[in-house]
Amino acid sequence: MTTANGRFIEVKGLKKYFPVHRGFLDSLRSQSKYVKAIDDIDFFIKRGEILGLAGESGSGKTTTGEIMVRLQDPTAGDIFFDTINVADLQGRQLKEFRLRAQMIFQDPYETFSPRLTVFGSIVESLKVHRIGTSAEKVDRVKEALTRAELRPAENFLYRYPHELSGGQRQRVAIARAMVVDPQFIVADEPVSMLDVSIRAGVLNLLKRLRSDFGLTMLYVSHDLSTVTYLCDRQATMYLGKIVEVGPSKVMVKGAHHPYTKALFSAVPLPNPDAHRERTPIEGEITGNIDLPRGCRFNPRCPYAIDICFQEEPDLVESEPGHATACHVFPARAD
């Protein structure tokens, strides 16, 4: 069942603050400081949709992904998952939720125990959730491997992680996520460690899983070329805020936020004659403890005007489904 407006997942007012422990004297003098890794964000994902979360390191995209599958607890906010709020599920209900939401990580080398075979790693989730008899478990693991295009599955069951290539390992990770028949998958930089010729295969596999099983996905990456290729819609994060969200095909041609533009314009093109118009932004991403007043992008923004240093902009829709948090674009841009 899906909420009335077709939103399968709806996030409202999500926050994640980490306390910063500095010196002893500081702790006496003032109230605690926080790193605002995620600072009040809203977004939704429709059933069967792939949403991309793009941004540089420190933007909060990975933390958001991990909270979505409840690997981390939110500081505040609601996460409606098919009408139930999963933001503060505990105990047995949380365990049940984990059957429905799975995660694929960046580094296929680090997510497997070197002492477990492929079968051993994948069957673990079935054991934890007490699914199936021994024979059924074997069948389900084989089926998951087949879904991840590791065929014939028998050839992979009793291999160890070190016997597999990077691409094969990432496919085993996908099989491990698929074995519990999830409805939602968070994939955090799943192809950034893989070689080019292997990368396209894994991206296409994710696309196929979506169309074959109606999976809903959150794809987290700094690489706008893969985000744009894979995702129906994408959101740009900067220092814990979503600064722009819209359909990928619209954003790639006409992003509004200067930061999204800069991210797109920084992607090199496989064409020696391409002349990229670069958006001239300054410096590097700043820390998110002492945020600037007004728009948090203002120290790097070449277009900032007075109001940008006074008021934090809200996400405002400029056309259906495309919203930007910027005082200058698209509203006042000439």
Partner 1 sequence: MALLDVHDVEVTYRTKEGPLKAAEYVSFQLKKGDSLGLIGESGCGKSTMAKAILRLLPDNGQISGGEILFQEQDLAKLSPKEMRKLRWKELSLVTQSAMNSLNPVYTVGAQIVEAIRTHEAVSKRRAWERAENLFRLVNIEPSHLTNHPHELSGGMKQRAIIAMALCLNPSLVIADEPTTALDVIVQDRILQQIVRIQKEISSSLIYISHDISVIAETCDYVVVMYGGHVMETAPVREFFRHPSHPYSLGMQNAFPNLEDVDSELISIPGYPPDLLNLPPGCRFSPRCPFADSVCQEERPELHFIGTQHGTRCHFPDRAEAFRAQAKLPETWTERPAQGQRGVGA
Binding positions for partner 1, rule: CB under 8 A: 56-57, 155, 162-168, 195-204, 222-226, 228-229, 248-249, 252, 262-274, 278, 281, 284-285
**Smallest distance from partner 1 to CB 197, Å:** 4
CA 42, chain centre distance (Å):
14
d(CA 250, CA 321): 10
**Smallest distance from partner 1 to CB 139, Å:** 22
Closest to partner 1 by CB, 95 vs 249, is 249
d(CA 219, CA 50): 7
Closest to partner 1 by CB, 270 vs 320, is 270
To which residue do tokens 């800069």 refer? 262
Closest to partner 1 by CB, 154 vs 306, is 154
**Smallest distance from partner 1 to CB 263, Å:** 6
CA 232, chain centre distance (Å):
13
**DSSP code per residue over 248-263:** HHHHHHH--SHHHHHH
CA 45, chain centre distance (Å):
12
**Smallest distance from partner 1 to CB 58, Å:** 8
Q: Name the β-bridge partners of 140.
A: none
Closest to partner 1 by CB, 213 vs 229, is 229
**Smallest distance from partner 1 to CB 228, Å:** 5
Contacts 24+ apart (CB under 8 A), 255-259: 256/318, 256/322, 256/324, 256/326, 256/329, 256/330, 256/333, 257/297, 257/324, 257/325, 257/326, 257/329, 258/297, 258/301, 258/302, 258/303, 258/326, 258/328, 258/329, 259/297, 259/300, 259/301
**Smallest distance from partner 1 to CB 130, Å:** 33
**Smallest distance from partner 1 to CB 162, Å:** 6
d(CA 303, CA 334): 12
Closest to partner 1 by CB, 98 vs 147, is 147
d(CA 243, CA 120): 42
Tokens of 182: 């999830």
Closest to partner 1 by CB, 115 vs 162, is 162
Q: Name the percent of the chain in helix, strand, coil, to the closest 5.
A: 35, 25, 45
Closest to partner 1 by CB, 17 vs 219, is 219
Peptide bond into 247 cis (omega under 30): no
Cβ count near 197 (within 10 Å): 8
**Smallest distance from partner 1 to CB 314, Å:** 25
Closest to partner 1 by CB, 71 vs 205, is 205
Closest to partner 1 by CB, 69 vs 203, is 203
**Which residue type sits at 196?**
V
**Smallest distance from partner 1 to CB 65, Å:** 18
